[in-house]
Amino acid sequence: MKEKTLLKIALICSVVGIALLYIFSEGIEIDESTIENINKGNIGESVKIKGVLSRVSSADNAVFLEITQPQTLSVILFKERDINITLEEGDYVEIIGKIEEYEGKREVIADRVRVIS
Amino acid sequence: MLFFELLVAILAGCFIGIITGLTPGVHVNLVAVLLVSLSGFFLGFTSPIVLGTFIVALAVTHTFLDAIPSIFLGAPDADMALNVLPGHRMLLQGMGYEAVKLTVIGSLMALIFTIIFMPFVLPFLPMVYSFLQPYIGYILILVVIYMLLKESSLNGKFFGFVVFMLSGILGLIVLNWQNLGQPLFPLLSGIFGISSLLLSLSENVALPKQRVTEIVKVEKNKAFRAIAGAVFFGSLAALFPGLGSAQAAIIAMQVVGEIGMYAFIILIGGMNTVNFTFSLATLYSLQKARNGAIVAVLEIIKSVDMNGLLIFIGTALLAGGIATFLTLGISRVFANLINRVNYKALALSVIAFITVLTIYFSGFTGLLILITSTAVGLVAPLAGVKRSNAMGCLLLPVILFFVL
């Protein structure tokens, strides 16, 4: 195989790769939601919400948060991996996680918490 | 936007892949483990899938670039061990660049065909896995017997067996050594790297001028068999834990028949790229990791859905495309640089470099292993039998892992 042919194939390969990334990254991006819009039908779905932390308490294996929008929602962040962020009440945060139901109340099991300001 | 985050992660992965691919002894797993330990920090501003694509791009790039130290320096990693000999032979004929190009053809074409065939085999993976799993050890035993029987004379068969057992026992000792960092590095560098360099030095080999030409031609039929072998057996290696590219290459060598040196280099080049790419399919289908890099991906993203798999496939294609340009470009630089050095000085420097790295990674225990494995590596060529028999160092431990 000539080098030119090989490079052409590599170029096509890269373009197809970029196209796949563009198409399927859209599917993975989670649209921002509000606490008001979260209902029983959303259980098990991924969600992205922004709001102010109104409660932060820490246990051995998890951090318990309450996010206010002004409606409030409980968020649990498990310490499965080192969490290097410091969360304080009053922080404006973005939370990405899965909606679950616990004792009849909806809560979010967070995959990621990011302090915006 | 996630798309741009992914692109940045892939470019970063390709960049680190150049470093791990070109540096003997620095494995993808090392960076992947480091990233897992730092993931808490990175996840503060990016998402798990972005970190996953970084690792996939890094691992794919590594499988292209690792041909360069294996061919130009005779310092292979586990996946490229079998390529040292034909690759080095081509280097001694002034065709080091062409040898690297053949591995790139293998890697890129096998990557593309693996991805094309993936949707057809994905639904059957759990079934194939549970059907074949109990027999893998016995299949490997049959392959070893067939490999030894292929030695031409009775004397050859005997010495082939001696080389297999010597290297196998050495492999068992080294791989079970407690608290030994990077055990494969001194083991494989000794058997396949330093022993070849010592033989070349004893024969007063002079390195001819390296040329960057297009004169190497591989018959289509042989190239097809090499790529098909890489796709099939590389995928098989990705399905079973413990079965690596090198062991799968030994099986493939017996099955694809006589394909010649050039197509053999294509086969080995493709094998480890397929092994990694197909492990993305096993990750999705069985939710199980089959190599260190995939363990790290799973650790970070927890589970992979179809969308995630397609993003990883896109990543593999893009990284494979970039790695093709990188490998050919860097190989040209190596070919030009190597023209300016004396072969004897180069071989001695590589031996010194491997020795220093061994002491750094594995201490003086590693040095002992390096000396022993070099001695074992010399037995096959001096006894006039195939050096692939020395793959017993990886095959015997895997056979015992599956059979016992």
Summarised one tens digit per residue, pLDDT across range A58-75 is 887 888 899 988 888 899
> Is the domain of A60 the same as that of A80?
yes
Mean pLDDT of A45-65: 86
pLDDT for B146: 83
pLDDT band at B69 (very low <50, low <70, confident <90, very high): confident
pLDDT value at residue A62: 84
Higher pLDDT, residue B25 or B289: B289
Distance CA A82, CA A72 (A): 26
Do A99 and A47 share a domain, yes or no?
yes
Q: Are residues A8 and A39 in the same domain?
A: no
Residue B270: predicted pLDDT: 94
Region B154-174 average pLDDT: 93
Residues of chain A found within 8 Å of residue B109, distances taken between Cβ atoms: 9
Strand partners for A92: A52
| Distance between CA atoms of residues A106 and A34, nearest Å | 13
**Contact by Cβ (8 Å): A110, A95:** yes
pLDDT interval class at B79 (50, 70, 90): low
CB B189 within 8 A of CB B354: yes
Do A25 and A42 lie in one domain? The reply is: no
Nearest to A114 among B36, B45, B325 (CB): B45
Q: Which of B86-95, B104-113, B114-123, B227-236 has the lowest mean pLDDT?
A: B86-95
Strands A72-78 and A105-115: parallel
Instruction: Choose the mutation target among A26, A81, A94, A95 for the interface with B, i.e. most B CBs under 10 Å.
Output: A81
What is the domain-level CATH number for residue A85?
2.40.50.140
B180: left (phi over 0), alpha (psi -120 to 50) or beta: beta
* pLDDT higher than 60, residue A40: yes
Using the beta-carbon criterion (under 8 Å), do A11 and B48 form an inter-chain contact?
no
pLDDT at B158 > cutoff 70: yes
Q: Judge if A25 and A58 occupy the same domain.
A: no
Q: Which of B36, B105, B318 lies closest to A18 in CB terms?
A: B318
Considering the domain architecture, whether residues A48 and A12 belong to the same structural domain is answered as no
Domain ranges of chain B: 2-403
A24 and A41 assigned to the same domain: no
End-to-end CA distance of chain A: 56
CB contact under 8 A, B101 and A3: yes
Residue B215's pLDDT band (cuts 50, 70, 90):
confident
Residue B30 has pLDDT above 80, yes or no: no
Q: Are residues A16 and A55 in the same domain?
A: no
A contact test, residue of B97, B317, B322, B326 with most A CBs within 10 A:
B317
Q: Which two tokens stand for residue B31?
A: 């960076």
Q: Considering only CB atoms, which chain A residues are within 8 Å of B324?
A: 6-7, 9-10, 13
Highest mean pLDDT among A11-25, A92-106, B282-296: A11-25
In this structure, the answer to whether residues A39 and A96 fall within a common structural domain is yes
Give yes or no: residues A25 and A47 share one domain: no
Structural domain boundaries, residue A61: 35-115
- What six digits make up the tokens of A36? 């008001």
pLDDT band (50, 70, 90) for residue B80: low
Domain count, chain A: 2
Q: CB B310 to CB A24 under 8 A?
A: yes
Task: Report the distance separating Cα B4 and Cα A24, nearest Å.
Answer: 13
pLDDT at B42: 83
Nearest residue on chain B to A3, alpha-carbon basis: B214
Q: Are residues A21 and A68 in the same domain?
A: no
Question: Of the ranges A71-80, B100-109, B229-238, which one carries the lowest mean pLDDT score?
Answer: A71-80
The complex's ipTM?
A: 0.81
Residues A94 and A43 in one domain: yes
Summarised one tens digit per residue, pLDDT across range B368-398 is 999 999 999 999 888 888 878 888 888 898 8
**pTM value?**
0.80
Distance from CA of A72 to the nearest CA of B (A): 23
